[in-house]
């Protein structure tokens, strides 16, 4: 097997020391951070750089350039660093824009009716004060890191301790496709795999694959299916221990859940998306999170950059290329000059800032469409999902408008715990965007009760919701490129202004994208400085 | 879907508060620990109990009985508590028996030849001194806990902090079925799911399932398969991002691994067992481990029992029921008397201890067959599996005699790390049992190099191996019951002597089995004391 890989030089052979055979390989040109000695060797000196935006991309640029002594100043419109990498704790304050940008409540499609949680057309921007207890945190933005992502390298370099983020849990629930009641993921999976295996085994037995498979391959396929679907030699799926137990085994044998529902019911549940959620390269288990909150990364970056170099509460109002540098004006009228600029703002905000970057650049910046996503953090005074449901981390998957319910991957067995009551995108998020916090909460609790019952709404100590489209100076969860022409243009600087962000990569919505983009810009800017000096 | 569950009263409905719908449910008669007030209410007083064996079962009995004031003394032949729950650290000493019990090297099948690591027929018991660095630990026995297991309840009750144990990892490798080179789990899984889906979709398209499925069900099946196998609308599997990347996506799109090997190669790899390793109820992700080592549980139990009540280095030589109590003789000739005894030793050792428990009990104790398992801990000075292979925890699965290679689920990004170089059972473990440590190590490194290359043998700071059949006073990893008649007999006390251990449950080899058995014995013994007093 996998002989072709050997031919391509990708796989180890017995006679040579293997290289990591497949996947997760580094880029062919590994990143080399700028360093002070680059100037000793090649002449010149580090330049002055204005970095616009103290999100992951901006901070990473300032951090990497700083290694070579660049004089960076980071301008951030918000009153905190990190951008979308926002971890909320007790004492934090979250303000929202009065209107969803570009789609006033009156012009949007109405929120689908539900018993609780009606739309509030006249909603005004509101401010939530977070009242979580000591130790509780809520990653309102990015929350998980794949093993192959460069984000983990930054965690290593910055000394940010890691722990596992549980991205899928056999004990969590599924409620999709009009299922009358939630089932455990393990149960739904066992049933789907079981019937798939039964159908294919019987088709094989009936000769339907005779033109495709040799006799030996048929035997191997049937052996695979007997394991894969737990269907044994009968080739008929009849349930089994993988479905779970009504009474767990112990001194006694336990009592299994019993026979599976009919095939037609399993097919109707539309489990394909849910059961393959963690099959993709970005979502495969295990995933990771910084201990204590995702913002440990941006806080470590900001500390390395230095507080004195970061100006929060400083909104950029104009960006001008000048013959000998860049000039950036900020709210209040002051202007700052530097040799170069890295614009690491969301493109839809950058597009609105006046300047002389050129019509094609402005047009390219206006191309990406900001998308919506929302999250609700629910702090409970009792970890009932662990005690009663035996769910330790992971997610319940639904096709309700809440999308997922996440159980915390930290603080196991603690007194309190933070459940993500919804993490939704697209139209579902847009519906919640238009609601005030209290209405989002009520709606999410009605939905969550379909999985966890009425007790779901009880014992909540604190709650906070974030609608990313309504976050000032961010105005979106991430973007979509309707066409890719501007994507290439913005990979190049507009004069002395470079662009950086996850939106300029194929890792949109991931911190890894911001880091990869920052590394590219830093490399190019540094090479230019070395060359021009 | 899952309508049947509702009928059976197992599933929530919209009109009532759901109960946890499926699986993981508690036993119908929840355990109620004995407490001092039981005697206040019902009269009598706590009895004196001798507990034989300070493994999980014995310690749990003493701990639970202690809650009601029972005067327990625990006798342990080894010089440490915990039995098979053995976590090794720098400074520990591990001694082995000179011979594998009951199967002298001369009578056993020879170890299959391999370049390095030949059998040592004259092997004598050897002592290994563990030289791991600060912070490194090796769970030589149990290492993972499923969410539903009672072991987690004890962690909560005892305040033992938990973290995730990564039981499966998409980035780890598979080397089975004569594959010429290892593949990432994600790659093997994508190929298997892809081809399975293609075969079933094409059989469906060709009408092979027409008698089984309605038109609507066929559509739903094809929709499921398109997600499940990532085969799209063409119904042909041609690889994709789930296989992994040669160059990871970033600013560029990345370069996928390329087309999959032919179907016949994927079938030859015999992936059924490996890809369903974590499908079962006992192994499903996520699993858990105590922070700092599995022995945190037994140490916490021992602390609650009290050091003064535990006598290590005390081997039992005789167990006698007397008219008014039990009399236990220990090596050296001293005898101890108590009202009751709980024998929580491995059955194959208990069977050899003289006494008056009766011929049928002795015969039942001699029924379970001790089985072999072995583990090798390798401490490296550099976490190359994280840095180069991008593997953070989890296991590589092989059909080599090493079984699995485990990567550590703790200490991510640290300086050192502990890899389990083999965890094998059955004949594979028996082969390693017969070797001296140095030969086990050499053999395991030759095997591991088939996955990780020659570098696998480099940078090892310390290594220790445990052959459970050769562990004094344990002599086995766990047992198998060839017939279940004795199983029922030993659930009842022999006079005043009760029996406890994982071997008396349907959770053999799990600490949860030991706890469940302990709870049963404690409950019965306490009820008897309350009744008789």
* Nearest-5° Cα angle at A507, A512 to B407: 55
Is the pLDDT reported for residue B12 higher than 80?
no
Q: Which among B217, B241, B506 has the least Cβ separation from residue A264?
A: B217
CA distance B471 to chain A (A): 26
pLDDT score, position A19: 37
Give the model confidence (pLDDT) of B147-172 as tens digits.
Answer: 999 999 999 999 999 999 999 999 99
- Out of A150, A228, A257, name the one closest to residue B272 (CB): A228
- Measure CB to CB from residue A284 to each of B170, B203, B275 and give the nearest one: B170
Pairing of strands B48-52, A369-371: unpaired
Say if the Cβ atoms of B267 and A14 lie within 8 Å.
Answer: no
pLDDT at B19 exceeding the cut of 50: no
Q: Look at residue A40 in the predicted model and tell me its pLDDT.
A: 87
Q: Are A166 and B250 in contact (CB < 8 Å)? A: no
- pLDDT in the model for residue B69: 97
By C-alpha distance, which of A165, A182, A164 is closest to A173?
A: A182
Contact status, residue B419 vs residue B427, Cβ threshold 8 Å: no
Chain A residues within an 8 Å CB radius of B408: none
- pTM for this model (two decimals): 0.92
With a pLDDT cut of 70, the percent of chain A lying above it is: 91
**Cis before B21 (ω within 30):** no
Nearest to B506 among A24, A200, A253 (CB): A253
* Local confidence band at B40 (pLDDT 50, 70, 90 cut-offs): confident
The CB density around residue B40, as the number of other CB atoms within 10 Å, is: 9
The distance of A127 to chain B (nearest Cα, Å) reads 33
Instruction: Please tell me the distance in Å from B111's CA to the nearest CA on chain A.
Output: 22
Which DSSP letter does residue A252 get? Answer: S
How many contacts, defined by CB atoms under 8 Å, are there between A and B?
Answer: 422
d(CA A178, CA A193) in angstroms, rounded, equals 20
Residue with tokens 């997922």: A404
Q: CA-nearest residue of chain B to A391? A: B147
Determine whether the interchain pair A199/B199 forms a contact, defined as Cβ–Cβ distance below 8 Å. no
Residue B173 clears pLDDT 50, i.e. is over it: yes
For residue A485, is pLDDT > 80?
Answer: yes
Condensed to tens digits (0 to 9), the pLDDT of residues A379-388 reads: 999 999 999 9
Residue B43, pLDDT score: 76
**Does residue B22 surpass a pLDDT of 60?**
no
Task: Give chain B positions within 8 Å (CB) of A181.
Answer: 2, 5-6, 11-13, 18, 21
Rounded distance, CA A301 to CA A309, Å? 12
> Where exactly are the structural domains of chain B?
45-83+294-368+481-532, 85-99+123-141+162-177+283-290+369-480, 182-269
Nearest CA-CA distance, residue B3 and chain A, Å: 6
- Residue-level pLDDT at A44: 81
Average pLDDT, chain A: 91
What CATH number has the domain spanning B45-83+294-368+481-532?
3.50.50.60
Q: Does residue A2 register a pLDDT over 70?
A: no
CATH no. for B85-99+123-141+162-177+283-290+369-480: 3.90.660.10
Nearest to A181 among B6, B243, B249 (CB): B6
Q: In the structure, what pLDDT confidence band is assigned to residue A118 with cuts at 50, 70 and 90?
A: very low
CB contact under 8 A, A1 and B183: yes
Average pLDDT over residues A333-341: 98
List of chain B residues whose C-beta atoms are within 8 Å of the C-beta of residue A507? 249-250
What is the per-residue burial (b if ≥16 Cβ within 10 Å, else e) of B329-358? Answer: bbeeeeebebbbbbbbbbbbbbbebebebe
Mark yes or no for CB contact A272/B27 under 8 Å: no
CB contact under 8 A, B147 and A390: yes
- Could you say which of B246, B413, B505 has the minimum Cβ distance to residue A10? B246
β-bridge mates for residue A47, sequence order: none
Residues 6+ positions from A427 with CB-CB distance below 8 Å: A109
pLDDT for B118: 46
Cα–Cα distance, A269 to A188 (Å, whole number)? 9
Closest Cα of chain B to A186: distance in Å? Answer: 8
Q: Do A3 and B261 touch (CB under 8 A)?
A: yes
3-state secondary structure A23-92: CCCCCCCCCCCCCCHHHHHHCCCCCEEEEECCEHHHHHHHHHHHCCCCEEEEECCCCCCECCCCEECCCC
pLDDT at residue A116, as a whole number: 44
pLDDT value at residue B124: 57
Query: A533 falls in which pLDDT band (50, 70, 90)?
Result: confident
Percent of chain A, pLDDT > 90?
86
Residue listed under structure tokens 């509030």 = A120
Q: Which residues fall within 8 angstroms of residue A229, CB to CB, at 6 or more apart?
A: A193, A194, A195, A196, A197, A198, A201, A237
Residues of B in contact with A457 (CB under 8 A): none
- Tell me the average pLDDT of chain B: 91
* DSSP run (H or E) holding A93: strand A93-95
Q: Where are the alpha helices (DSSP H) in A453-508?
A: 485-489
How confident is the model at residue B1, as a pLDDT? Answer: 38
| Domains A85-99+123-141+162-177+283-290+369-480 and A182-269 belong to one CATH topology | no
The CATH T-level fold of domain B182-269 is de novo design (two linked rop proteins) (1.20.1440)
Residues of B in contact with A156 (CB under 8 A): 413
How far apart are the CA of A295 and the nearest CA of chain B, in angstroms?
A: 18
Interval A308-325 mean pLDDT: 98
Angstrom distance (rounded) from CA B114 to CA B75: 43
pLDDT in tens, A358-372: 999 999 999 999 999
Concatenated DSSP letters for A308-332?
GGEE-S--EEEEEEETTEEEEEETT
Q: Which residues contact B318 (CB under 8 A, 6 or more apart)?
A: B327, B328, B329, B335, B353, B354, B355
Indicate if the pLDDT at residue A115 is higher than 60.
Answer: no
Instruction: Report CA-CA distances (Å) from A213 to A210, A217, A346, A380, B206.
Output: 5, 6, 53, 55, 15
CA-CA distances (angstroms) from residue A78 to A98, A140, A201, A503? 16, 16, 59, 19
The mean pLDDT value for A417-430 works out to 97
Q: Which residues of B touch A393 (CB under 8 A)?
A: 164, 286
Considering only CB atoms, A203 lies closest to which of B209, B223, B452, namely B209
Residue B204 has pLDDT above 90, yes or no: yes
Residue B400 has pLDDT above 50, yes or no: yes
Amino acid B15: pLDDT: 34
What pairing do the DSSP bridges indicate for beta strands A340-343 and A48-52?
Answer: parallel
Range with lowest mean pLDDT among A95-99, B177-181, B306-310: B177-181
Per-residue pLDDT, B20? 38
ipTM: 0.92
Is the pLDDT reported for residue A466 higher than 60?
Answer: yes
Q: Where does residue B131 rank: exposed (0-12), middle (13-18), buried (19+ CB within 10 A)?
A: middle
Q: Average of pLDDT values for A58-79? A: 98
What is the pLDDT, as a whole number, of residue B212?
A: 94
* Confidence category of residue B113, pLDDT binned at 50, 70, 90: low
pLDDT exceeds 80 at position B112? no
CB contact under 8 A, A241 and B190: no
DSSP B124: -
| Exposed e or buried b per residue across B54-81, where buried means at least 16 C-beta atoms within 10 angstroms of its C-beta | bbbbbbbbbbbbbbbebebbbbbbbebb
Give the minimum alpha-carbon distance from A225 to chain B in angstroms, rounded to a whole number. 7
pLDDT tops 70 at residue B5: no
pLDDT per residue as tens digits for the range B410-454: 999 999 999 999 999 999 999 999 999 999 999 999 999 999 999
According to the model, what pLDDT value does residue A112 have?
54
In the predicted structure, residue A117 carries a pLDDT above the cut 90? no
């Amino acid at each position: 097997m996998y002989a072709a890989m050997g031919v391509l030089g990708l796989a180890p052979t017995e006679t040579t020391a293997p290289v990591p055979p497949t996947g997760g390989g580094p880029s062919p040109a590994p990143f080399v951070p700028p360093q002070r000695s680059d100037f000793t060797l090649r002449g010149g000196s580090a330049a002055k750089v204005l970095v616009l935006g103290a999100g992951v991309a901006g901070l990473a640029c300032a951090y990497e350039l700083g290694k070579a002594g660049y004089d960076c100043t980071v301008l951030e419109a918000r009153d905190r660093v990190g951008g979308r990498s926002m971890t909320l704790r007790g004492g934090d304050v979250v303000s929202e824009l009065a209107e969803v940008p570009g789609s006033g409540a009156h012009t949007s499609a109405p929120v689908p009716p539900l018993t609780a949680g009606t739309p509030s057309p006249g909603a005004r921007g509101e401010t939530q004060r977070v009242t979580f207890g000591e130790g509780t945190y809520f990653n309102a933005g990015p929350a998980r890191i794949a093993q192959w992502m460069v984000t983990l390298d930054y965690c290593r370099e910055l000394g940010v301790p890691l722990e596992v983020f549980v991205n899928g849990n056999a004990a969590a629930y599924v409620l999709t496709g009009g299922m009358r009641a939630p089932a455990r993921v393990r149960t739904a999976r066992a049933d789907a795999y079981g019937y798939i295996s039964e159908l294919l085994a019987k088709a094989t037995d009936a000769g339907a694959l005779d033109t495709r498979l040799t006799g030996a391959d048929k035997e191997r396929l049937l052996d695979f299916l007997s394991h894969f679907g737990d269907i044994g030699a009968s080739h008929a799926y009849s349930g089994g221990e993988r479905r779970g137990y009504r009474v767990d085994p112990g001194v006694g044998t336990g009592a299994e859940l019993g026979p599976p529902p009919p095939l037609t019911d399993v097919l109707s549940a539309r489990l394909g998306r849910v059961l393959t959620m963690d099959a993709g390269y970005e979502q495969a288990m295990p995933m990771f999170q910084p201990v204590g909150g995702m913002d440990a990364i941006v806080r470590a970056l900001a500390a390395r950059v230095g507080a004195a170099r970061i100006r929060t509460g400083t909104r950029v109002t104009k960006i001008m290329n000048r013959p000998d540098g860049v000039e950036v004006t900020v709210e209040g009228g002051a202007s700052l000059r530097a040799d170069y600029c890295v614009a690491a703002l969301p493109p839809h905000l950058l597009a609105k800032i006046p300047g002389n970057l050129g019509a094609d650049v402005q047009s390219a910046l206006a191309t990406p469409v900001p998308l919506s996503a929302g999250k609700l953090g629910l702090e409970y005074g009792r970890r009932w999902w662990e005690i009663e449901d035996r769910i330790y981390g992971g997610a319940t998957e639904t096709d309700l408008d809440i999308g997922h319910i996440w159980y915390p991957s930290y603080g196991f067995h603690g007194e309190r715990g933070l459940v993500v009551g919804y993490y939704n995108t697209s139209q579902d998020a847009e519906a919640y965007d238009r609601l005030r916090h209290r209405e989002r909460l009520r709606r999410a609790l009605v939905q969550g009760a379909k999985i966890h019952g009425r007790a779901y709404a009880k014992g909540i100590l604190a709650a906070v919701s974030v609608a990313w489209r309504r976050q000032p100076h961010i105005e979106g969860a991430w973007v979509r490129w309707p066409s890719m022409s501007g994507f290439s243009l913005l990979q190049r600087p507009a004069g002395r202004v470079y662009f950086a962000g996850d939106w300029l990569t194929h890792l949109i919505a991931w911190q890894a994208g911001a880091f990869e983009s920052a590394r590219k810009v830093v490399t190019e800017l540094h090479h230019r400085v070395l060359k021009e000096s």
